[in-house]
A = this chain, B = another copy of it.
Amino acid sequence: MRVFVSGATGVIGRRVVPALLAEGHQVTAALHTLAKAAALGAIGARVRQVDLFDPDELRTAVFGHDAIVNLATHIPHSTLGAFLPSAWHETDHIRREGVANLAAAAEAAGVRLDVYVEVDVGARRCGVPPGEAALELAREIAARPALRFAGLQAYHGAAQHLRAMGERRAAIESAARAARETRLLIESAGIACPTVTGGGSGSFAFEIESRVFDEIQPGSYVFMDADYAKNEWAAPLPRFEHALFVLSTVMSRPTPARAVLDAGLKASSVDSGLPVVWQRPGFRYARASDEHGVLEIDSGATAPALGEKLLLVPGHCDPTVNLYDWYVCVRGGVVEALWPISARGALY
């Protein structure tokens, strides 16, 4: 594909451009100034200076592309933040105007942007209510030639960690009912609803059973974590194995019943529970402080040696991965690869 990327030098853009190039796409990097153009040129992007506030120039620039990735924004004073209300207003103004101009340019170029509507199917987080509210939004999208209504995002995050299979099935049956009725309402208004997407590692088989969902989104199953392991697992949901571990070292053994690890809050997220010591049933990870983890040793268990390595299964895989810069990929006791955790720290 030929992809037009605005904001190519920003925090997200500088990750997106190499990823697109690596997948074999042609990338046009739209830049406001050419200060960072050389680096983009060097990795194979086609650089083009474009003023996003000039609709004619923009229309010409996007012509001939198959897709547009709009990452352009502007925060005055510094690229890393501005605290003045006037700055927020300016940012908001720029985002809206940029999107409107891009929509117009996309229209002129015959490019359409896919837009999903998020429906709150039980998680009480983002999303409009099922039914009329979703239809209203779908209508607004369908009315714009540059936008295509792509379907419904119907993810029920809260259902993933309900322990009993029966509870999870009931929650997803309710979510699927809401998604089905909303899709029928939209389709009966003459608007195609190509994709209903949702489901997570704890529930995806129920989304599949419902026959409402066209796409599932499980992610944690790749690693599993101590919290997911507490769920009841039975057919039709397979039980996945742990594949994410924190390698810790015994740094102190002050009493026979207590050992201290060098892995605390900076090594493992504890929001969904403490880590579990892998395959050492007599050891209990009892407390975490910033750089320490306190292990309680059962009276029947042999205490670990000073310097001994213990593997921990984190309580929650997602925010634990976010603490690290690299995955260390191990097979059969040998490190086979290092994978960068490229989105970590992308908050700014």
Contact = CB atoms under 8 A, between A and B. Distances in A.
A333 interface: yes
A304 B340 CA distance: 37
Contacts of A174: none
A252 interface: yes
A126 B267 contact: no
A40 to B, nearest CB: 22
A287 to B, nearest CB: 8
Given A126-B260, A254-B120, A307-B92, A81 B328 contact: yes
Contact of A80 (B335, B345, B348): B335
Interface string A214-256: 0000000000000000000000000000000001000110100
Give the oligomeric copy count: 2
Interface stretch (A56-64, A104-112, A317-325): A317-325
Interface residues of A, number: 55
Contacts of A309: 83, 88
Interface of A: 77-78, 80-84, 88, 91-92, 95, 120, 124-128, 157, 247, 251-252, 254, 258, 260, 265-267, 269-271, 288-290, 292, 294, 307-309, 316, 318-319, 322-326, 328, 330, 333-335, 338, 345, 347-348
